[in-house]
């Protein structure tokens, strides 16, 4: 009995004593064991079947390959066309390149090329494309696509890498031959792809009439491809059919990979993919154009790596216009996915072996690379591996492109010479497409200039910074008259493009972009003509002097009374680009060009520009809610695009007038009357503290914006009052009392009841040393009241109580000692004696300490409203105000150097040969002459006619900025301890001098007489008083300054005249002994000298009886009076 039969005794034994649950569990375990056994058996059988199938397939493949080798391995003659269709290609296409091997693959490609070159129709493989049997034609088309796909795989190494792995079993002796085969394979594959898709390479077209069923002798056929063969070749990659579109995409992907690694085989493939687009007659939205744009033109740095031939194939004007039209059309069609949407920019070049781009490439949007490649192809600039190229050739090529290829006789463009976008609108299309790409990249966050800096360093996007590019694209001064038809459309597109570029540029990149716009010939003039006509605004205005009130209408653009709100939205890019570019040009435009040559605008046009820009900026701030228009920020720079052009023009006018004063004040003529000083000061203080004070800003129609952006629109006197209010608010916030003798001191006690924060003891013979030892250590407490005590030469305290006069004398004495040119820390200009730090003042610690002390004392004088003898040089004042210094500021430092640099700019000869300059300057340092390089390796870089403008401005920048940077910073650091830099920016350079030093060197005697007071028995009709004013009128300017210094402690009157002198100038009567007939010229007159109390601005004048005595005593007191111990 078999062992598997039922044994009742065994069951009885096993089940004896088992419970029901145990029985069920044992049964389940038995079932699971049997199921596992069956599963194992099935697995074994499947493995055996798979192994047998694999072995059978291997046998079949070996049989196929053996049969193929027997027929084709050694043959050198091409098979017949039908044999190729039925026997040569099917095994290879069925097995694939990895199974066939490089040797067979190379032979297949070679035999096919030989077949395509055959003139006999029964041998030429392409003859089947126009066979009379439709089934044969369809079979050929399908097989030809598969052959092309196989060759494309070889080109991009998708197949050859597998072939290499498959052939590792070859004997070592054959390794060299295998390597040679693999190296030859891509070139043969490229040749095959080109021939399959180019009907002109076929020979079967000689029998096209026969193949087409028309009969005839092949020798009678016309040369060139016939319509049937051309259509058959085009059908292989016809984007209009699904299969052809897929093949076209494969070709595009292969082209992108070949181009990314600079493969020479890319040229042939580029012609295939572009011809497929052109031959299909596609419009801008065609599938083929979409594929090439999406897969090829987005390859990073494509045009830097491809050959000239590849660039020529891709640079067809017809194709580029179609690609640009596609970009623009799909951007405007919201219902369709954009050609670049969802495309990850991970290209083969990102992992290219040469490491040109490293791993950064994938982090940038395809829009960036499409923009760079389209511009390079349209111009040939840095395209085709030719480096930078010729600007003249690139400009001419772009000019032809913008005209749609007319008068095109260049071989590079012969395939699209008659195409294009219908003429001159190609320029507008290119500019509009560029704008779309930049906008898309910015929206995706990929247009970050900082992250693109490495890419741009390799040459990408540099075309946008070239002057010739704008000249050729926009028509410019050198364009033909035929280009003007679409000038308005093109100009609008260019302005929108650069407006977007500037919105995302860093300060450095913005300067480079603006340089292209600013220096393009006639570009700014054309731009202003368009802008003034569109706004509209007066294009030019005559120089008519008008009062401030009358000028409100004459110097305000009537169509811009609400500022930016009145500017049409579509005109904002044009206005913004014009203002920024012209402001950039003003930095390098010297006064001779601006005022004498009047380039690029006449002075009447300058006034028209100033009126428009000034009205827009000022009225925007005065319009409720207008500040929102001025909050546009440039990404990455942290700087607001605010009234830059208006400030540049105002700076030019403040140095040398080209417009009347009323022009700048007109838009805000009534603002000062409507806005309380305290409200304006609080708004500015809140802005400077970066604290939002809603009520204060809302209460002031001006707010902080007008005071920060265009303070020139408000009268100087009004801004002085705001400054004094800012000082008072700061003093209250810090808890300090007013300085005795200062402008804010209590008139009742002149600040004497204020507790001083420190007592300063000064020895007259060691004045500067004592000031250096005591004042800097006060820190911010310098803003409080300082009590001053002078020590005489004998070591005792000088007579006098400091009610402000001693402090004013301290300020005057310390500034005079520190600014003294003989000390070697400061120098004075030879023309006007204006002061500035010496070039080597910042090279020593002692020099920096003195410079900082001078800044501190200057700031203290401004803080307390005390006039000081500190006439600062124009360029130095601009540095303190944070204004840019240009070559036109150089005369205030060194007029001779300025003249020399201008001569270099105007030199007509060969600068490099005749002047023999390099990029270095020589400067005295500690008594020795040291050379400073203006650029890296500047000693070995010559100055040429091309770079002389940069050289001249580099020299000016060195002397005005770089060489004095440390000293300027030290002075500004000391100045800011009392006077906040934001407060000082309320004023221009000449106004800062007025605020610090007073009105002018000489002063009006009648103004002082009108506001004078009398005490001690004098009145305005007293005889001694009349003699005093007669004596003052007879004084020269130096004596009058000495009188004012003797009486008030300052040689100059207050900024707004003597009515603002506090306390008022007072003449106090001092009774002296004199003879009874002194008034008649007999006997002794009063012998006592006049004395003064500078704390109270009081002149103590004895009652002289004779005019001669009055004049004599006054001259002696003014000449000899010093200190508080004059008897």
Q: Which residues are tagged catalytic?
A: 1095
| φ and ψ of 900, to 5 deg | -65, -40
Distance CA 1047, CA 574 (A): 58
Strand, coil or helix: 1015? strand
Listed residue (212, 210, 344, 187) closest to 268, CA to CA? 187
Provide the b/e sequence for 308-341 (b: ≥16 CB within 10 Å).
ebbbbbbbbbbbbbbbbbbbbbbbeeeeeebbbe
Residues in the chain: 1127
Place of tokens 């005792």: 796
Q: What is the C-alpha radius of gyration for the chain, rounded to an integer number of angstroms? A: 45
Contacts of 1084 (CB under 8 A, 6+ apart): 1074, 1075, 1078
Identify the H or E element spanning 1014.
Answer: strand 1013-1015
Residue with tokens 């400009």: 395
What are the DSSP calls for 788-857, one per residue?
A: EEEE-TTSSBPS---SSHHHHHHHHHHHHHHH-GGGSSEEE-TTT--EEE-TTGGGSHHHHHHHHHHHHH
Conformational region of residue 1033, where left means phi above 0, alpha means psi within -120 to 50, and beta covers everything else? alpha
Q: For 751, what's the count of Cα atoms within 13 Å in the CB-facing half-sphere?
A: 27
Q: How many CB atoms lie under 10 A from the CB of residue 648?
A: 23
Angstrom CA distances, 306 to 134, 158, 296, 358, 385, stand at 40, 21, 12, 18, 6
Sign of CA dihedral 850, 855, 858, 860: negative
Q: Look-up: residue for tokens 């419970």?
A: 19
Are the CB atoms for 314 and 270 separated by under 8 Å?
yes
* Contacts (Cβ under 8 Å, ≥6 apart) of 44: none
Residues 475 and 487: their CA atoms lie apart, in Å, by 7
Per-residue exposure over 389-407, b if at least 16 CB sit within 10 Å of its own CB, e if not: bebeebbbbbbbbbbbbee
- Burial of 1003 by CB count in 10 Å (0-12 exposed, 13-18 middle, 19+ buried)? buried
d(CA 966, CA 989): 20
Give the 3-state secondary structure of residue 929.
strand
Specify the pairing of strand 1091-1093 against strand 1098-1102: antiparallel
* CA separation for the pair 703, 156 (Å, rounded): 65
Q: Which two tokens stand for residue 1056?
A: 């707004």
Distance CA 655, CA 988 (A): 10
DSSP state of 156: T
3-state secondary structure of 623: coil
Residue 922 is inside which H or E element, if any?
Answer: strand 920-925
Determine whether 638 is exposed, middle or buried from the number of CB atoms within 10 Å of its CB (0-12, 13-18, 19+): exposed
Residue 625: exposure state from Cβ atoms within 10 A (0-12, 13-18, ≥19): exposed
Degrees to nearest 5, angle at CA 1091 with 1088 and 1092? 165
Backbone torsion region of residue 691, taken as left when φ is above 0, otherwise alpha when ψ lies between -120 and 50, otherwise beta: beta
Collapse the DSSP code of 708 into the 3-class scheme (helix H, G, I; strand E, B; otherwise coil) and give the result: helix
């Amino acid at each position: 009995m078999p062992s598997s039969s039922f044994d009742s005794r065994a069951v009885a034994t096993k089940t004896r004593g088992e419970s029901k649950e145990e029985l069920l569990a044992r049964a389940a375990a038995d079932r699971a064991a049997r199921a596992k056994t069956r599963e194992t058996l099935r697995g074994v059988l499947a493995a055996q079947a798979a192994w047998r199938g694999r072995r059978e397939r291997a046998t079949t493949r070996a049989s196929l390959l053996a049969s193929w080798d027997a027929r084709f391995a050694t043959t050198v003659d091409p098979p017949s066309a039908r044999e190729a269709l039925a026997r040569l290609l099917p095994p290879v296409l069925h097995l694939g390149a990895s199974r066939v091997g490089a040797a067979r693959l190379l032979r297949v490609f070679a035999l096919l090329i030989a077949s395509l070159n055959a003139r006999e129709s029964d041998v030429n493989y392409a003859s089947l494309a126009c066979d009379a049997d439709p089934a044969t034609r369809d079979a050929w088309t399908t097989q030809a696509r598969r052959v092309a796909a196989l060759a494309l795989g070889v080109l991009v190494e998708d197949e050859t890498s597998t072939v290499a792995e498959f052939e590792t079993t070859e004997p070592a002796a054959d390794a060299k031959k295998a390597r040679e085969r693999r190296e030859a394979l891509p070139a043969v594959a490229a040749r095959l792809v080109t021939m399959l898709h180019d009907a002109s390479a076929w020979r079967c077209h000689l029998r096209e009439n026969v193949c087409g069923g028309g009969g005839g002798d092949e020798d009678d056929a016309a040369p060139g491809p016939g319509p049937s063969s051309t259509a058959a070749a085009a059908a292989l990659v016809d984007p209009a059919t699904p299969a052809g579109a897929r093949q076209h995409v494969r070709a595009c992907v292969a082209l992108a990979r070949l181009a990314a690694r600079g493969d020479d085989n890319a040229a042939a493939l580029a012609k295939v993919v572009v011809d497929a687009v052109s031959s299909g007659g596609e419009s801008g939205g065609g599938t083929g154009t979409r594929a090439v744009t999406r897969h090829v033109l987005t390859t990073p740095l494509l045009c830097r790596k491809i050959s000239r031939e590849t660039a020529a194939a891709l640079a067809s004007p017809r194709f580029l216009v179609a690609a640009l039209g596609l970009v623009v059309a799909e951007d405007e069609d919201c219902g369709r996915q954009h050609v670049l949407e969802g495309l990850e920019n991970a290209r083969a070049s990102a992992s290219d072996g040469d490491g040109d781009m490293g791993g950064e490439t994938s982090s940038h949007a395809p829009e960036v690379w499409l923009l760079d490649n389209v511009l390079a192809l349209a111009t040939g600039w840095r395209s085709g591996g030719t480096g930078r190229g010729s600007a003249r050739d690139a400009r001419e090529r772009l000019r032809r492109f913008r005209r749609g290829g007319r008068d095109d006789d260049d071989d590079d463009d012969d395939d699209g010479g008659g195409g294009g976008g219908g003429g001159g609108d190609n320029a507008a299309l290119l500019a509009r497409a560029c704008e779309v790409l930049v906008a898309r990249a910015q929206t995706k966050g990929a247009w970050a200039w900082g992250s693109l800096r490495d890419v741009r360093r390799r040459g990408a996007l540099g075309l946008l910074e070239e002057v010739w590019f704008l000249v050729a694209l926009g028509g410019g001064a050198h364009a033909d008259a035929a280009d003007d038809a679409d000038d308005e459309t093109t100009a609008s597109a260019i302005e929108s493009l650069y407006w977007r570029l500037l919105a995302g540029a860093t300060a450095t990149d913005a300067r480079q972009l603006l340089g292209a716009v600013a220096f393009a010939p006639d570009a700014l003039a054309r731009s202003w003509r368009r802008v003034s006509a569109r706004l509209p605004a007066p294009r030019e205005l005559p120089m008519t002097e008008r009062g401030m009130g009358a000028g409100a209408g004459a110097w305000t653009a009537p169509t811009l009374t609400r500022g930016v709100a009145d500017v049409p939205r579509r005109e904002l890019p044009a206005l913004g680009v014009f203002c920024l570019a012209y402001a950039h040009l003003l930095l390098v435009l010297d006064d001779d060009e601006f005022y004498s040559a009047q380039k690029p605008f006449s002075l009447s046009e300058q006034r028209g520009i100033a009126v428009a820009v000034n009205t827009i900026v000022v009225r925007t701030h005065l319009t409720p809610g207008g500040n929102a228009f001025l909050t546009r920020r440039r990404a990455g720079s942290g700087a607001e695009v605010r009234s830059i052009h208006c400030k540049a023009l105002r700076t030019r006018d403040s140095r040398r007038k080209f417009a009347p004063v009323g022009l700048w004040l007109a838009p805000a003529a009534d603002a000062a009357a409507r806005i309380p000083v305290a409200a304006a000061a609080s708004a500015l203080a809140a802005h400077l503290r970066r604290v939002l004070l809603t009520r204060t800003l809302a209460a002031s129609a001006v707010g902080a914006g007008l005071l920060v952006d265009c303070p020139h629109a408000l009268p100087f006197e009004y801004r002085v009052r705001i400054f004094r209010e800012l000082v008072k608010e700061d003093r209250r916030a810090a808890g300090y009392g007013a300085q005795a003798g200062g402008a804010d001191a209590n008139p009742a006690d002149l600040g004497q009841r204020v507790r001083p924060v420190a007592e300063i003891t000064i020895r007259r013979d060691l004045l500067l040393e004592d000031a250096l030892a005591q004042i800097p250590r006060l820190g911010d407490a310098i803003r409080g009241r300082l009590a001053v005590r002078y020590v005489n030469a004998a070591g005792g305290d000088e007579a006098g109580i400091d009610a402000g006069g001693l402090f004013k004398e301290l300020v005057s004495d310390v500034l005079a000692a520190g600014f003294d040119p003989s000390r070697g820390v400061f120098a004075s200009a030879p023309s006007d004696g204006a002061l500035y730090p010496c070039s080597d003042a910042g090279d020593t610690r002692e020099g920096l300490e003195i410079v900082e002390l001078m800044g501190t004392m200057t700031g203290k004088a401004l803080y307390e409203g005390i006039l000081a003898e500190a006439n600062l040089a124009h360029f130095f004042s601009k540095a303190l105000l944070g204004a840019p210094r240009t070559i036109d500021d150089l005369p205030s430092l060194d007029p001779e150097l300025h003249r020399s640099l201008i001569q270099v700019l105007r030199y007509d000869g060969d600068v490099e040969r005749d002047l023999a300059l390099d990029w270095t300057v020589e400067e005295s340092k500690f008594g020795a002459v040291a050379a400073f390089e203006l650029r890296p390796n500047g000693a070995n870089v010559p100055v040429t006619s091309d770079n002389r403008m940069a050289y001249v401005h580099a020299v000016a920048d060195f002397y005005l900025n770089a060489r004095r940077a440390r000293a300027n910073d030290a002075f500004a650091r000391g100045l800011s301890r009392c006077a906040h830099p934001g407060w000082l920016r309320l004023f221009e350079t000449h106004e800062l001098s007025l605020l610090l030093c007073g009105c002018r060197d000489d002063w009006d005697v009648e103004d002082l007489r009108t506001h004078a007071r009398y005490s001690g028995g004098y009145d305005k009709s007293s005889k001694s008083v009349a003699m005093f004013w007669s004596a003052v009128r007879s004084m020269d300017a130096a004596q009058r300054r000495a009188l004012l210094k003797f009486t008030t402690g300052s040689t100059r009157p207050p900024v707004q005249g003597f009515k603002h002198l506090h306390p008022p100038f007072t003449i106090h009567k001092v009774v002296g002994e004199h003879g009874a007939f002194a008034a008649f010229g007999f006997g002794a007159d009063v012998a006592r000298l006049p004395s003064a109390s500078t704390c109270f601005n009081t002149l103590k004048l004895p009652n002289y009886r004779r005019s001669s005595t009055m004049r004599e005593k006054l001259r002696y007191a003014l000449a000899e009076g010093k200190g508080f111990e004059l008897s």
